[in-house]
Chain A
Amino acid sequence: MSSLQFDIAHLLAGSLVLASFMMLYQDRLYSLLNVYALHAGVLALSVAWQAYVQHAPHLYVTAVIALVFKAIIIPVALHRIIKQLGIHREIENVIGIGLTMMAGIGLVALSMVVMLRVTPGADALAREDLAFALSVVLLGLLIMVTRRNAVSQVVGFMSLENGLVLAATGAKGMPLVVEISVAFSVLIAFIVIGIFLFRIRERFDSVDVQALDRFRGERR
């Protein structure tokens, strides 16, 4: 593998970690979603690059799923839900931003130490991809535990899942990557539907669609 190929892969995976950090300090839901869209876009680029480097055409499918579904459809859908429910200002952090950032740095250091130590045998690209991927996973978990709002918890989960896709594509020749990516997309679609039901339940005290009809004056 040429050093340029390696550097580009490294740059993209590193950008993914950076995007995870950016999500840590967002204090408005809209901007959190925008950063998430960026996160998914970087993932798509990274997967596409891996597909090119590894000569693995099936990984392009994963890249397209990441781009279309995660970087476009899901953020747009969540945008609309947030707008409809009027909750765009609600981000409640459990602990302060500074402390969260410190914890994030600690987690990245931890994943570097762990992954680089246990994978001396693997090739450099896979090895560093794995270390970055674990960082993204742990940062996603951190986002989930430091936010109280359901939507931002889901965004945290989705970024965690991006880290897993990065790990799966970095493991050269791993089968089922496309299938796993599809399975996760289904999971996320369900979660988004879940939020929708959940929030409606909170607002109207029922998820019965008839309750909505009454609000629109369309009672049967």
Chain B
Amino acid sequence: MKIDALTAILLIPAVSTALLAVLPGYALTARFNVVAAFATFLTSLSLFVVEPTSGQYLLVDDLNKVFIVLTTFVGFTTSVFSASYIDHEIEIGRLTPAFLRFYHAMYQTLMFAMNLALVANNIGLMWVAVEVATLTTVLMVGIYRTHEALEAAWKYFILGSVGIALALFGTILVYMAARPVVGEGLDGMVWTVLVAHASQFDPALLNVAFVFLLLGYGTKVGLAPLHAWLPDAHAEGPTPISAVLSGLLLNVALYALLRFKMMLAVNPAAIAPGPLMVSMGLISVIFASLMLYRRRDIKRMFAYSSIEHMGIIVFAFGMGGPLANFAGLLHMTMHSLTKSAIFFAVGHIAQVKGTQKIADIGGLTVTNPVLGWGLMLGVVAIVGLPPLGIFMSEFLVVSSTFARAPWLTAILVLGIIIALGGLLLRVGSVMFGEPKGPTAPAEASYVPMFTHLALVAMAGIYLPPALVTGFTNVAKLLG
């Protein structure tokens, strides 16, 4: 087998997993984890220069390039954050070095599984990859072994398993629909073949298949009413995992959904996936923004904010058309960067204060100004205030759909405003007011957080033309 960039982005994490599982010493393994993540990121960048040939199992096109680069980039910055975060967890004895070997091996397994799901050209392989990603995150959510952590892992496990089970049923139905047209065997599961022939598939079977796929992968995207696992898993796991879950894994599940949406779009007799996605997206936005008001745990609050933003993204892709798709892609990128930056800040804040309870954290801008203002900037970005990147993408989502469905836009804007109020209300007491809790300076690595925030800030003012052309091409591809 020839090793090109495509296989390398799978091989690097796979080999690192094996090495990290046996290497001793946490300082060394944490650094090795960063190096491996960086190597994967560099390899993914090379996809823009030389495009490897796609085969029956693996595939590179404009769509997954965007996802791969985003995934490997946030994977790299999170590994940098993770190194300093875990260092502190070892110091206070919340994690033991024995767990660390396991943690780092799982981190690289997760990277491998997400990359595999993104480059898979085979819908069965994609399903297996999403399952592996679910398993590794379940194990990491439960790593603290507290009652809450185990319960969160259990809930995530059961709901995630049911979700991927439904997705598998949908995958089987797609194969059944393809079989009379493309014949038996491997071809019936190769995505490029499926798209080429989807116009001749039986539309009734495709419809039922898409409902199962939407429910199945939708559970992993965190769409209401299938979101129940998400806040618990984000709140109880280690913060680097919250960042990766929110910033990346939700996107990977969304990517799977988009692939099937593209397939359905080819068949005019099948149901339009758009309205289903639009309504689930809107329900998620409204539901999550209302839930923001009564949160007591800071990580749980930002988990609900993730549900809200995934709702906006699914709404945008559901509306479809070049402009809405462009807006959806941009929003997804901005959300990944901003939300992981927020979790970086929240992780260090929780370590300094020794708690995740909003009521016990206060006056951060006085006690830990860098972290405090960093989080503030992240929150300003995530609620969509100008001139940051999320304002730009939310504005595009809203304006691109306004002409077609003003009522839907009104509901969406209402949801966004409710969320803005909720987040600012809760964060206000955390930022300003009476300083509470320990005030020791944080031993934090600020670089990943401010890199993300700088990118988001830059995107709000100036989008590089290369990025715009790239996203435009992908948006056209999505139809």
Q: How far, in angstroms, from A98 to B186 measured CA to CA in the complex? A: 45
Binds A, one of B13-21, B202-210, B390-398: B202-210
- Give B129-184 interface residues, CB cut-off 8 Å to A: 131-132, 135, 138-139, 142, 145, 147, 150-151, 153-154, 157-158, 161-162, 165-166, 168-169, 172-173, 175-176, 179-180, 184
Quick one: which of A119, A176, A197 contacts B205, CB cutoff 8 A?
A119
Flag if B153 contacts A194 (CB, 8 Å). yes
Known A-B contacts A137-B165, A157-B161, A176-B189; A187 and B124 likewise in contact (beta carbons under 8 Å)? no
Known A-B contacts A164-B165, A180-B124; A173 and B179 likewise in contact (beta carbons under 8 Å)? yes
Give the residues in chain A near B147, CB-CB below 8 Å. 201, 205
A190 within 8 A of B: yes
Quick one: which of B131, B162, B185, B207 contacts A144, CB cutoff 8 A?
B162
A130 within 8 A of B: yes
B424 within 8 A of A: no
Flag if A190 contacts B176 (CB, 8 Å). no
Give the residues in chain A near B205, CB-CB below 8 Å. 118-119, 121-122
Distance in Å from the Cβ of A53 to the closest Cβ of chain B?
Answer: 14
Quick one: which of A160, A173, A197, A198 contacts B165, CB cutoff 8 A?
A160
Give the residues in chain B near A187, CB-CB below 8 Å. 131, 135, 161
- Which A residue sits closest to B205, measured CB to CB? A118
Distance in Å from the Cβ of A141 to the closest Cβ of chain B?
Answer: 7
A112 within 8 A of B: no
Q: How far, in angstroms, from A186 to B175 measured CA to CA in the complex? A: 24
Flag if A122 contacts B180 (CB, 8 Å). yes
- Chain A residues touching B, range: 35 or more
A175 within 8 A of B: yes
- Give A161-220 interface residues, CB cut-off 8 Å to B: 161, 164, 167-168, 171-176, 179-180, 183, 186-187, 190-191, 194, 197-198, 201, 205-208
A117 within 8 A of B: yes
Q: How far, in angstroms, from A81 to B172 measured CA to CA in the complex? A: 34
Distance in Å from the Cβ of B141 to the closest Cβ of chain A?
Answer: 11
Interface of A (DSSP majority class):
helix
A126-164 CB contact bits vs B (8 Å, 1 = yes)? Answer: 100010011001000100100000100100010011001
- Which A residue sits closest to B123, measured CB to CB? A176
Give the residues in chain A near B188, CB-CB below 8 Å. 173-175
Flag if A191 contacts B172 (CB, 8 Å). no
Q: How far, in angstroms, from A135 to B139 measured CA to CA in the complex? A: 31
- Which A residue sits closest to B168, measured CB to CB? A164
Extra contacts besides A118-B208, A173-B185, A175-B185 (14): CB < 8 Å: A121-B202, A122-B180, A134-B169, A137-B169, A144-B158, A153-B158, A171-B175, A173-B184, A175-B186, A176-B189, A198-B151, A198-B154, A205-B147, A207-B145
Q: Which 8 A-B pairs have the closest CB atoms?
A: A173-B184, A176-B124, A118-B204, A167-B172, A175-B186, A118-B205, A118-B208, A171-B176
Q: Chain A: residues with CB nearer than 8 A to chain B?
A: 114-115, 117-119, 121-122, 126, 130, 133-134, 137, 141, 144, 150, 153, 157, 160-161, 164, 167-168, 171-176, 179-180, 183, 186-187, 190-191, 194, 197-198, 201, 205-208
